[in-house]
Structures are given as C-alpha cells and as structure tokens.
Amino acid sequence: MSPSPSAVQELFRSCFGDRADGVWLAPGRANLMGEHTDYNEGFVLPFALGQGIVAAAARRDDSSGRRLVLCSAQEPGSVAEVSLDGLSPGQVSGWAAYPAGVAWALAAAGYAVPGACVAFDSDVPAGAGLSSSAALECATALALTELAGVAVDRRELAAMTRRGENEFVGVPSGIMDQSASLLGQRGHALLLDCRSLETSQVPFDPAAAAAQLLLINTRARHELTAGQYGRRRAECEQAARLLGVPSLRYLTDVADTDRLTDPVLRRRARHVVTDDQRVLEVVGFLTRGSGSGSGDVLGEIGRLLTQAHVSLRDDFEVSWPEADVAVDAALTAGALGARMIGGGFGGSVLSLVRAEAAEPVRAAVAEAFGRRAWTAPEFLPADPSDGARRLGLQ
C-alpha cells in the first residue's frame, strides 16, 4: 500500500514540467492505546500504518527568492506557492499551511531550508483520524532536509514538525502522531513516554496469531472538533493545577483523582490516569504474555481496547454516535475489542478481530450503519508498518 512512487513522479512532472530529485513516504498512524495522554506527558502506543503520503520533490534555486511550490493529487488543479523569506505564522492557510509550517519550524531551528517544488499523493483518508496531516508534515520534513543535505535526528524532526503544526498552523496537538510516522517499525507498536520522550519498539504482529487489526472509518466529522480538543487540554491542565502536580502524568493512583471536587474534571483526570495504565498493561501483555497461563494475549488486549472506549466515551466524552455504534456492532459480531482512536468527535474505530471474525464484524458494522441510514463505513487494514523513509526512484 501507500501511493505509488511512479504516480507521484508523474504528478510532479505534470505540475512542474521536470523530474523530481527523490520521493519520500511518511505513513499515517493508528493508536493502539493511550488517547489524550500525550499532551498530559503520559504514555502512548501508536503504530505507523501501511497507508501514507508520498512526496516527490526537487530543489528549486530561484534568483527571485526561496519558494516552496506545492501541488497535490488530492487538490487537483491548484498549485500553492509560499515564499520562504520572512515566513511567519498566519501567512498561509489551507492544506499548504502544513508543509509551510514544517519549513518555518526547520528555519526556526536554524536549518537552511532550500526552495523546493513538491508534489504529494496520499492514500490516508483525510478527516478519518489517521493523521494525514502529520504524514504530510513528516514527508515534507524528510524531503526538505534531504534536499538540503542535512541529516536530522528523527526525534528532533518529530519535535519540529509538531512545532510547525502547533505554532504555524495553530492546531494544539501533542507529539504522538509525528512520532509514530517518523519512528514506526514494521511489526511493532511504538511505546513513547511523552515526559522523557524515551521510546521503545514493542513487537506487535496480530497476523502471527491469526488475528488482525481492522480500522473502521466512520466517515463522520462533527462540529467543534478543534475547539473541543483545546477545551479538553485546558481541563486536564486545570485538573493538574488543582491537584498540585505539573501534569496528570504525575498521578499514578486513580484514587488521587477523587480529590477533585468538580465532577467533570474528575472524569477527565480519571480517563488520563487509567489510559496511561492501560498503555503499560498492553505493553506488559505484548512483552511478557498474559501471565494467566491461558496465553490469550489478544483477548486481554481486546478487553483493554473496549475499556478504553468506555473511558473515552463516558469520562473524557470525546466519542461520537457512529463510533459507539461501530464498537457495539463489532463486539456483538465477535471482535475481541474495539475503540475510537485519535482526538475524537469523528474519525475511526480500531478493532482487534480473530481472522475468522473479520468478515462477520465488517458485515455487522455495515448493517448497523445501513439501518440508521448513515453513510457506509470504510474498512481499512491496520498493519504496523515502517515509518517515514526515502523511496527508490524508478
């Protein structure tokens, strides 16, 4: 999967009438466990998807100033042009703000960013909660740094691309998505401690246990998504302040959240503390086995996935009707577990299913949506894959 390098080179040629110097791929991500924990300095366990964004790029040395010239297969007929000299937040709007934000963040970190032409193609559905924006940023970052001839550490790239998204585009997201896209490894989930920024690769290969991860794009996007995300962040920060800790990560016992008198803040904090614990439990199962003697690691992970969904739905209140219905239908049809992923209020559900249950789960979710006259869901494979990289030119 991921769009073909030859198609994006062809797009480059048709946009810019020339050959690209290289093609780079950055994947989208799904998150196995740990939602809304990254900006609370907690734990996350995402993985890179097989679906991604490819960028064909070439340096553009222009006597009239450095420019980024961008086109995309998903935005046919439009070419965006951004001047890199004097670039500052607020100057670029629409999708081009993401690559421009990367150039801005690289320059702010002291890297010499060359002018470049870049053509993008994607098979990460936009608005599906699979981090197509992080993939766009990471593909841009790899392309621009390699065109500049500088090797930048992947963690530093993750921090810079996130900074571009936060400060240039104005989206107050955490560090999870860019980290997954840049550091993912095939057959592994990425354990990231968002306080120390330490990472480790946790072997995760459901196919080896005759199971699979199934993504259900609910195709729903509800209003106020950005505002609600910011509001949740503010609630978490307020809860931490009231409890006298630098961030909710510092709470290790869920009983500590009982000291919050405000019931909403108490629920928000409870989600964060329990989801941090669930990340570590999943990692424990994946690295040490179930410990129960039954060897049913996938069953245990499935149970935790569903528990996390309930917590996101009832305590953090970021789920949406289509996700709740998809989770219920998947579980009834035999999924081991399922939960919404990403920021919430729209996007995708991740379910863990044994191979023989995959078809019944798909049919049950489609039927449940059909009964409500909702747009049919889209089913996508979610295979833990390699992170961002340069592709060979054909």
Residue 257's φ and ψ, nearest 5 degrees, are: -70, -15
Q: Choose one: 36-44, 94-102, 184-192, 370-378; the region binding ligand GLA (CB under 6 A).
A: 36-44
Q: Strands of the chain (E only): list them.
A: 22-31, 43-44, 46-59, 67-72, 79-83, 116-122, 188-193, 199-203, 211-221, 337-340, 346-354, 378-381, 389-391
Q: Which stretch binds ligand GLA (CB under 6 A): 93-101, 171-179, 307-315, 365-373?
A: 171-179
Q: How far is the CB of 14 from ligand GLA (least distance, A)?
A: 32
Q: Does 271 bind ligand GLA (CB under 6 A)?
A: no
| Binding-site member from 33, 38, 265, 383 for ligand GLA (CB under 6 A) | 38
Q: Is 177 a catalytic residue?
A: yes
**Closer CB to ligand GLA, residue 268 or residue 362?**
268
Find the shortest distance in angstroms from Cβ 129 to ligand GLA. Answer: 7
Q: How many residues in total does the chain contain?
A: 394
Q: Is residue 39 near ligand GLA by the rule CB under 6 A?
A: yes
Binder to ligand GLA among 122, 161, 173, 351 (CB under 6 A)? 173
Judged by CB under 6 A, the chain residues 333 through 372 that form the site for ligand GLA are 342-343
Asked if 275 touches ligand GLA (CB under 6 A), the answer is no
Contact predicate 254/275, CB 8 Å: no
Least distance from ligand GLA to the Cβ atom of residue 158, Å: 11
How, if at all, do strands 188-193 and 43-44 pair?
antiparallel
Shortest approach of ligand GLA to residue 181 CB, angstroms? Answer: 11
- Give the residue with the Cβ less far from ligand GLA, 60 or 155: 155
Nearer residue to ligand GLA within complex by CB, 177 or 322: 177
User: Among the candidate windows 5-13, 168-176, 295-303, 379-387, which touches ligand GLA by CB under 6 A?
Assistant: 168-176
Contact 236, 260 (CB under 8 A): no
Burial of 226 (0-12, 13-18, 19+ CB in 10 A): middle
* Full strand arrangement of the beta sheet holding 46-59: 79-83, 67-72, 116-122, 46-59, 22-31, 389-391
Nearer to ligand GLA among residue 302 and residue 346 (C-beta): 346
Nearer to ligand GLA, 84 or 192 (CB): 192
Judged by CB under 6 A, how many residues of this single chain contact ligand GLA? 10
Using CB under 6 A as the binding rule, whether residue 36 contacts ligand GLA is answered as yes
**What sign results for the dihedral spanned by CA atoms 170, 171, 176, 180?**
negative
Q: Is 27 in the site for ligand GLA (CB under 6 A)?
A: no
Residue 177 makes contact with ligand GLA by CB under 6 A? yes
Q: What is the 3-state secondary structure (H, E, C) of 101-170?
A: HHHHHHHHCCCCCCCEEEEEEECCCCCCCCCHHHHHHHHHHHHHHHHHCCCCCHHHHHHHHHHHHHHHHC
Alpha-carbon distance 54 to 62, whole Å? 24
Residues paired with residue 30 on neighbouring β-strands, in sequence order = 47
What is the separation of C-alpha 163 from the centre of its chain, rounded to a whole number of angstroms?
15
Task: Choose, from 121, 177, 315, 383, the residue flagged as catalytic.
Answer: 177
Decide if residue 41 touches ligand GLA (CB under 6 A).
no
Q: Which of 27, 42, 174, 346 is the binder for ligand GLA (CB under 6 A)? A: 174
Q: Is 180 helix (H, G, I), strand (E, B) or coil?
A: helix
- Which residue from 18, 10, 104 is spatially nearest to 61, judged by alpha carbons? 18
- To ligand GLA, the closest distance from the beta carbon of 343 in angstroms equals 3
Q: How far apart are alpha carbons 22 and 307 in whole angstroms?
A: 44
Q: Which stretch binds ligand GLA (CB under 6 A): 150-158, 173-181, 183-191, 193-201?
A: 173-181
Q: Select 42 or 115, whichever has its Cβ closest to ligand GLA.
A: 42
Residue 221, exposed/middle/buried by CB under 10 A (0-12, 13-18, 19+)?
A: middle
Q: How far is the CB of 211 from ligand GLA (least distance, A)?
A: 24
Nearer to ligand GLA, 46 or 206 (CB): 46
What is the contact surface with ligand GLA in residues (CB under 6 A)?
35-36, 38-39, 173-174, 176-177, 342-343
- Would you please indicate which residues are annotated as catalytic (active-site) residues? 177
